[in-house]
Chains A and B, each alone.
Chain A
Amino acid sequence: MKARIRKLATFLEETQNEMGRSVNPPSRRAAAVAVIENPCAGKYVEDLSELIAIGEELGELLTQRAVAALGISAPAAESYGKAAAVGENGEIEHAAAILHPKLGTPVRKVLGKGAALIPSSKKRGGMGVVLDIPLGHKDAAYVRSHFDGMEVRINDAPRANEIMVAIAITDSGRPLARVGGLTKDQIKGEDGLR
């Protein structure tokens, strides 16, 4: 493992009821988060290939962890998202290096599918920073019922020389979704959009 991991965390949320209405089956989503050392902290590094490689291995590890937390078979995953928070001695570009070049391929490999862009967010911040991981349907980005976000935070991360990397996976859309748009049973699955 290239990443020096200090901590792994998983968050599993299950919504059973909203405004007194039962959500049946419950809407479930999981986030897996790694807190790693930032090898590029404290100095300007031109070549970020070390972080790109870390992104690739975390793509596999965190997707596996999130799917395991949900307790579903990987192909049953419906939406996904990714995010990173860089500690104060790093740059936002470090988050980009982890998230964008190589993290997606192993995510899709674990899930067996995933034609849609993996929605993402990134920021720089101190310990306890809130990371809002955007969520979208994995096979068709326009599925409106699956536009969502999941909040995660870890009180002692990221330290100044660390990066917090998160992947969120769900087995469903928003609880009681009812604002129309493309539904998941209308997915054509050709272009990742519809």
Chain B
Amino acid sequence: MAEVPVRKKLMIVEEIYHEGGPAPTHPLRRSAALAVIHNPFAGRYVEDIAGFMEDLKPLGLEMAESLIAALGGNRKTVEGFGKGAIVGSAGELEHGALWHVPGGYAMRQLLGDAKAIVASTKKVGGPGTRLDVPITHINASYVRSHFDAMEVGIGDAPCAGEIVLALVMTTGPRVHARVGGLKASEIKGEDGLR
């Protein structure tokens, strides 16, 4: 497994007390871990890229661990997650897709075999590109209170030959969630959906 060179990391932690309504007992916490890596396939078409997913696994685990630590260190407090990638201009969108497996499975593994698929988004863009990383409940994708998104980005990344990888975790529902739907307390936990 080849080592993946990281140029820069960014950790963002948000603590949301209210959004104009009644403040919950515990503020909602959301965190994002970003890593800027060298894109080994930049500048040309490479057919066989899938092996890079294996190389990314240790970084995925490291980022997922750092997110749990940033949210207080107890994985049981994590209720939502998401992932994303921004590929620099000398790469293609497909390079961002390499992040699905190592990013997603790292979080699901560390969160105690979380059942739901990890919502994701990706794009090709220049330095400073912003990415709205979608967030859903870790055990049941249909939990409406946990549909959320966190905007992330780095002023000087990705450069043309780089990829920004992102993982996001949250500790609860939107701060004033009140539009019904499946509740976290109603999760059956069989199929990752409900």
Partner of A7, one of B7, B10, B14, B154: B14
Of the listed residues B10, B13, B18, B20, the one surrounded by the most CB atoms of chain A closer than 10 A to its CB is: B13
Partner of A13, one of B9, B18, B19: B9
Residues from 127 to 157 in A contacting B, C-beta threshold 8 Å = 130, 151, 154-155
Residue contact B11 to A8, C-beta cutoff 8 Å: no
- Set B7, B17, B155: member contacting A16, Cβ < 8 A: B7
CB distance from B177 to the nearest CB of A (A): 16
Q: Which of B7, B14, B18, B19 contacts A9 (CB 8 A)?
A: B14
Total contacts A-B at CB 8 Å = 52
Query: CA separation between A9 and B130, bound complex, in Å?
Result: 17
Q: Is the CB of B9 within 8 A of A14?
A: yes
User: Which B residues are CB-close (under 8 A) to A14?
Assistant: 8-10
Contact with A17, one of B5, B13, B130 (Cβ below 8 angstroms): B5
Interface residues on A, range: 10 to 19
Contact status B11-A16, CB under 8 Å: no
Smallest CB–CB gap between B123 and chain A, Å?
A: 16
The A contact surface, by secondary structure, is: strand
- Which residues of the other chain, B, contact A8 by a CB distance below 8 angstroms? 14-15, 17
B1-49 contacts to A (CB < 8 Å): 5-20
Return chain A residues, CB-CB under 8 Å to B10.
11-14
- What's the dominant secondary structure at chain B's contact region? strand
- Quick one: which of A67-93 are within 8 Å of B by CB? 69
Report if B151 contacts A (CB, 8 A). yes
Q: How far is the CB of B82 from chain A (nearest CB, A)?
A: 15
A13 to B14, CA, bound (A): 15
Residues on the B chain within 8 Å of A13, using CB: 8-10, 154
A155 near B130: Cβ-Cβ < 8 Å: yes
Q: Complex: how many Å from CA A8 to CA B175? A: 14
A16 touches B8 (CB 8 A): yes
Interface residues of A (CB under 8 A from B): 5-18, 69, 130, 151, 154-155
8 closest Cβ pairs, A-B complex: A155-B151, A151-B155, A12-B11, A8-B15, A17-B7, A14-B9, A9-B14, A10-B13
23 contacts between A and B (CB under 8 A): A6-B16, A8-B14, A8-B15, A10-B11, A11-B11, A11-B12, A12-B9, A12-B10, A12-B11, A13-B8, A13-B9, A14-B8, A15-B7, A15-B8, A16-B7, A16-B8, A16-B9, A17-B7, A17-B8, A69-B11, A130-B155, A155-B130, A155-B151
**Chain B contacts to A: CB under 8 angstroms:** 5-20, 130, 151, 154-155
